[in-house]
Amino acid sequence: MIRRTGETLVEVEWKARGKGPARVETGIGFLDHVLESWTFHGGFGLRLKADGDLRVDAHHTAEDVALALGEAMDEALGDRAGLHRFGWAYAPLDEALARAVVDLVRRPHCELTLPPLPPMIGELPSEMVPHFFRSLAMAGRFTLHLDVLRAENGHHAVEAAFKALALAMAQALAVKGRSARSTKGTL
């Protein structure tokens, strides 16, 4: 998947089941860190390279990474027949605790609760964190409910959220048969 705009160029290869470490290069160190953690804990395959207008700020790069990654996920999952569909998980990181619930139904929606975060976490403006998760769910065409239930440290809050999402998605991606897990017969 390639996403090219006037501000960014993002190349993404995502697999629901991966081998080896993630290769993530966004130019935003903290975003690389949480995406690598998400990939590891979800058991995904991820190769992602972004070249953005970081001289302006991190907004376009972080947003387009989320959109490109979501589009790559949507494309890789196809009609999603046979997948468990639902996943839920809690993930702690020291004092932080996050809960994620996903439905791979192809009806994009995101509900998100985060504690107050510091203005910046590394090179990532914290205002981009909710924007990233919403963009990912919209482009990936899945429903996401993500809540950081407690946290004192912004880094821990965001990393716990990415880990909880990874665990919930891994559960939702488990194979449960051949047909769509829906009373409608399609997702």
Q: State how far the Cα of 43 lies from the Cα of 22, in Å rounded to an integer.
A: 10
Q: Provide the residue type at 115 as one letter.
A: P
Interval 136-163 mean pLDDT: 98
pLDDT of res. 98: 98
User: Is it the case that residue 185 has pLDDT exceeding 70?
Assistant: no
CB 110 within 8 A of CB 131: no
Q: Is 169 helix (H, G, I), strand (E, B) or coil?
A: helix
**Cβ contact 11:1 at 8 Å:** yes
> What string of DSSP letters covers 104-152?
-SS--EEEEE-----SEETTEETTHHHHHHHHHHHHHT-EEEEEEEE-S
Domains of the chain, CATH where assigned: 2-172 (3.30.230.40)
3-state secondary structure of 123: coil
Q: Which strand (E) or helix (H) includes residue 64?
A: helix 59-77
Q: Which amino acid is at 41?
A: H
Quick: pLDDT tens for 89-120: 999 999 999 999 999 999 999 999 999 999 99
Considering the entire predicted model, what is its pTM?
0.93
pLDDT of residue 147: 98
Structure tokens at 93: 């990181």
What pLDDT sits at residue 18?
Answer: 86
Closest CA to 28 of 71, 57, 68: 57
Mean pLDDT (whole number) for 121-125: 97
User: Is the CB of residue 49 less than 8 Å from the CB of residue 86?
Assistant: no
Bridge partners for 90 per DSSP: 99
pLDDT greater than 80 at residue 145: yes
| Six-digit token string for 121 | 């976490």
Q: Is the pLDDT of residue 187 over 90?
A: no
